[in-house]
Amino acid sequence: MEALVFTALLHYHEVSLKGRNRARFEQILLSRVQEALVGLDLKVSRIPGRILVRNVPEAKLEKVKERLSKVFGLANFAFALEADPDLEVLAELALKLIPKEVKTFRVSAKRGNKKLPFTSIEAEREVGGRIAAKTGLKVDLKNPELTVFLEFALDRAWVYTDRLRFPGPGGLPVGASGKVMTLLSGGIDSPVAAWRVMKRGAKSAFVHFHSYPHTDFASAVKAKREAEVLAAWQGGARLYLVPLAGVQAEIFAKSPEKYRTLLYRRFMLRIAERLAEREGAGALVTGDALGQVASQTLENLHAVSKAVDALVLRPLIAMDKVEVIEEAKRIGTYEISILPQQDCCSFLEPRRPATRATPEELADAEAGLDVPALVEAALAKAELLKIPSPYKGEAVPDPVPPEEV
């Protein structure tokens, strides 16, 4: 059989895209598609309402499919054969796409070009009639085994089948909503939180806090591997590794035990806020879910947030753990997140943590600490890992523990 060369037709939802917003959305989406397909020698272009990827040989379909399935903003995409809007030619091309075992089919046409000499219904009838005559297949409008799609736009036409059409991840293209800084713990929740915000168009930078040498360095390695998985969805990632041991030692020495975990959290937010400024990020993102652990009561979340001016987004706040786990599995971070680690916050964990702290109580509990100096000292020891897109550049090695903390 001759080798086919396809054009991928990329569709996006246009709901809520208005005016100038829309041109911007399309431009960003185009860049994200180009970025995702880098190195594959394909031609990416834009026509009204669609993005086209031309020159896709059959041998590359799987790879292109895999990469496009991680481009936020795409509602779906299809691998089509492209031709002039000539119904006879399109019927011939359709024959190449119909698998042998299929017995019934229908044709469904969409017409962007209103100047064509035929209506959508006429196109469906004509192409359907030709396919039936050549193959003996039966038309079944209600419950066909295969649907042949025709699309017409500008002066071109495309034919594909439902077996060559795939869902995209939806959402908005990364970059359309600016940047955020996600606090990535190495656990299950925070990568899902980052992914959710990415899906709404925000590119994420990451920060992980470790307690080395009081705990091992496994959490940092896990955070890096999670960031690598997430990097595929946004064309790379920047991950800061920050030692928290200095801050924790001070809290341990000078603050009431029951507030320890909450105070660690406040310092994490403060340090993350500074890194967010450095990265041009407009919000912090955490994986908190309401009521999941003692630090995640309404009161405690509020009292922790008060340590910073920054907007703190908690996309998982109303999700059940089982839902988060399912999503983590789909994204591909779950297997990494369940590897063993020593959590930085389990280090000297209070026996009876406060469950309803107020901002005033936490401010009092910090009265003996030199907060700005502790934040500066931690920032000075922050290490930045630049994780490339998996389609570009070589993977960076796993981080190793710092020599001095």
Q: Which window, 16-24, 52-60, 141-149, 177-185, contacts ligand ATP (CB under 6 A)? A: 177-185
Which one of 196, 287, 301, 319 is in contact with ligand ATP (CB under 6 A)?
A: 287
The token duo for 172 is 């908005």
Least spacing, CB of residue 296 vs ligand ATP, in Å = 6
Q: How far apart are CA 150 and CA 157, in angstroms?
A: 7
| Interaction between residue 292 and ligand ATP (CB under 6 A) | yes
Q: Which residue is at the shortest CB distance from Mg ion?
A: 187
Choosing from 295, 300, 305, 333, the residue that interacts with ligand ATP (CB under 6 A) is 295
* Least distance from Mg ion to the Cβ atom of residue 223, Å: 11
What type of residue is 185? S
Binding ligand ATP by CB under 6 A: which of 26, 124, 151, 189? Answer: 189
Q: Which of residues 16-45 bind ligand ATP (CB under 6 A)?
A: none
Please identify which residue in the block is written with the tokens 């200095």.
246
Segment interacting with ligand ATP (CB under 6 A) among 8-16, 45-53, 151-159, 286-294: 286-294
CB burial class (10 A; 0-12, 13-18, 19+) of residue 396? middle
CA distance 100 to 83: 23
Q: Report the interface residues with Mg ion, using CB under 5 A.
A: 185, 187
Whether the bond between 144 and the residue before it is cis, its omega within 30 degrees of 0, is: no
Strand partners, 109: 150
Question: Does residue 73 touch ligand ATP according to CB under 6 A?
Answer: no
Q: Does 209 bind ligand ATP (CB under 6 A)?
A: yes
Residue whose CB is less far from ligand ATP, 7 or 234: 234
- Which one of Mg ion, ligand ATP, none is in contact with 268 (Cβ closer than 5 to 8 A by kind)? ligand ATP
Q: Does 185 bind ligand ATP (CB under 6 A)?
A: yes
Alpha carbons 14 and 50: distance in angstroms, whole number: 10
Among 52, 344, 357, 385, binds ligand ATP (CB under 6 A): 344
Buried b (16+ CB within 10 A) or exposed e, 284-297: bbbbbbeebebbbb
Which of 293, 338, 373, 395 binds ligand ATP (CB under 6 A)? It is: 293
Please, what is the angle between helix 260-279 and helix 245-254, to 10°? 140
400 contacts 212 by C-beta, under 8 angstroms = no
Query: Rounded CA gap, 341 and 221, in Å?
Result: 9
Tokens 């009561």, located at residue? 297
List of residues contacting ligand ATP (CB under 6 A): 183-185, 187-190, 208-209, 268, 286-288, 292-293, 295, 344-345
